[in-house]
Amino acid sequence: MGLPIDSHISSDDDEALRPSKSAIRALRSIAAGKYEFVDENRNHQRVPLRLLGRFMRADKKEYPCQVLNMSPGGAALLAPAPGELGERIVAYIDHIGRIEGSLVRNFDGGFAIKIQASDHKREKIANQLTWLANREQLDLAEDRRHERLIPRKTQSKIVLEDGSEHVCKILDVSLSGASIELSLKPRIGANITFGKMRGRVVRYHDRGIGIEFTDVQHPTTIKKQFG
């Protein structure tokens, strides 16, 4: 189960992993509600990505995975365990969240799934993929993806992997992450709960830590939680 997922893709493949302009245009059309969803896996533009996650097979066993490409209608995953055609797969993917669908094809080192979701969910996935695709096109660093705001409500708390709760001060927050003042230094990559959102520790700074949210948040959610 300790699959070295990243070893499947070398740094020489970076250019091939950049999404095409046509893929971004298609995603924007979907996100704007100008796309009629058809029950066919290849009717959506696939966006090449490097996203890590975990998936669960029908027998409830979990494994790590990495997204090779994805659209609102399907995804190709590198995975250590093949599945059965038609098997239900539930996956939790960084920046995307929970997706589920049926396995439609096995290939060397992984498989492809057809995503089963409502039009509303597909449009949400399209929005997330559009953001990720634009990030790859522009080669944006984490701190530049979204505008950082100073919240009106600065007091919050985080819950660490061991279940312990810690009061913290929010220094700034964006749709994709936050900087918080905290005396503790959880390990880089540690999963945390911040308010009502899930994320992970991505860096240290002189006053605390930087957090990247698991899902890109809606502006209304940020306003509601932090003012």
Contact by Cβ (8 Å): 129, 70 = yes
Question: Are residues 177 and 213 in contact, defined by beta-carbon separation less than 8 angstroms?
Answer: yes
The reported pTM is 0.50
Q: How far is it, in rounded angstroms, from Cα 194 to Cα 200?
A: 9
Axis-axis angle for helices 119-138, 21-31 (nearest 10): 150
Domain termination residue (choose one: 123, 140, 157): 140
Distances (CA, A) of 48 to 23, 72, 76, 81: 10, 13, 9, 21
CB atoms within 10 A of CB 91: 23
Low-confidence ranges of the chain (pLDDT < 50): 1-17, 19, 33-42, 138-144
CA nearest to 46, candidates 11, 71, 20: 71
Q: Which of 162, 164, 141 is nearest to 210 (CA)?
A: 141
Domain shared by 169 and 211, yes or no: yes
pLDDT tens across 74-109, in order? 999 999 888 899 999 999 988 788 899 999 999 988
Instruction: Check whether residue 124 and residue 68 sit in a common domain.
Output: yes
Per the structure, the count of domains in the chain is: 2
Q: Whats the size of the chain, residue-wise?
A: 227
Task: Give residue 214's domain range.
Answer: 143-226
Q: Are 151 and 170 in contact (CB under 8 A)?
A: yes
**Residue 25's pLDDT is what?**
58
Retrieve residue 49's tokens: 């990505």
Q: Do 68 and 40 share a structural domain?
A: yes
Which string of DSSP letters, residue by residue, matches 78-138? Answer: E-SS---TT-EEEEEETBTEEEEEEEEEEETTEEEEEE---HHHHHHHHHHHHHHHHHHHH
| Contact between residue 23 and residue 46 where contact means Cβ atoms under 8 Å apart | yes
Residue labelled with tokens 């899930």: 198
pLDDT at 141: 44
Residues 30 and 120 in one domain: yes
pLDDT (0 to 100) of residue 17: 47
The answer on 172 and 93 residing in a single domain is: no
Instruction: Give the pLDDT confidence score for residue 144 in this predicted structure.
Output: 45
From CA 15, how far away is CA 38, in angstroms rounded?
30
pLDDT of residue 138: 43
CATH number of the domain where residue 216 is located: 2.40.10.220
- Pair (194, 108) in one structural domain: no
- Residue 193 near residue 216 (C-beta atoms within 8 A): no
DSSP 3-state assignment of 161?
coil
